[in-house]
Amino acid sequence: MRAWTDVAVLAKTRNLAGGFVVKSTAGLPFLLQVGMEVAFVPPVTDVPRRARVSQITGATDTTAQVLFEGIEEMSQAKALVGCHCLVRSESLDLASPAVGALSWVGARVVDERFGLLGEVSDILENPGQMLLEVVSADRKNPLLIPLVDEFVMSADPDGSRIVVSIPEGLLNL
């Protein structure tokens, strides 16, 4: 099991006290909790690389307004916009159906334009983002799809299916 899991992205600043609008990633529900330690990636110079969640307000299924201990100035918050929030996997309830969706191995991956791409053989965690490793009998090498909102259109854990929209050039890599 991976030590850290990418669960959210700092979408934009929210207030002068260093707050953020935070969005969940990769089709996950909002998983941050008060007291949770977060690592920001990629790291930013002169800004804390880790912090604890100190306050969550206005939470929905996928977004919330979040304050972190140690991020107290607008300049620090602006520097972190776009960074991903990694949390220790052990702090997540991996038995819950929402987080269990992190284990997509075997799920069919279907592109809106290109049709069935194959099945997920692994989820690779890079410092900046996770990648779906998709295998197919039609391709010699696995297809690596960044697990980002721009490419993942929907995910159906019950149907074990992920719908993506990838650029054509990604198929030729």
- pLDDT on residue 52: 96
- Looking at the DSSP bridge assignments, the partners of residue 119 are 108, 135
Domain definitions of the chain by residue range: 4-98, 108-171
pLDDT in tens, 16-36: 677 899 998 866 788 899 999
Query: How far, in Å, CA of 38 to CA of 117, rounded?
Result: 33
The third-level CATH classification (topology) of the domain covering 4-98 is Elongation Factor Tu (Ef-tu); domain 3 (2.40.30)
DSSP 117-144: EEEEEEEEE-SS-EEEEEE-TT-SS-EE
Q: How far apart are CA 41 and CA 161, in angstroms?
A: 28
The model carries a pTM of: 0.59
Give the separation between CA 53 and CA 51, rounded to whole angstroms: 7
Mapping DSSP to helix (H, G, I), strand (E, B) and coil, where does residue 80 land? helix
DSSP H helices in 5-161: 74-80, 97-100
The reported pLDDT for the residue numbered 146 is 85
Contact yes or no for 14/20 (Cβ under 8 A): yes
Which pLDDT belongs to residue 27? 64
What are 149-155's contacts with CB under 8 Å, separation 24+?
Answer: 149/23, 149/25, 149/26, 152/26, 152/27, 153/112, 154/27, 155/26, 155/27, 155/101, 155/104
CATH topology (fold) of 108-171 = SH3 type barrels. (2.30.30)
- For the chain, what percent of residues have pLDDT higher than 90? 37
Asked if 4-98 and 108-171 have one fold, the answer is: no
Give tens-digit pLDDT for 80-129: 999 999 998 888 765 444 444 455 778 899 999 999 999 988 777 666 67
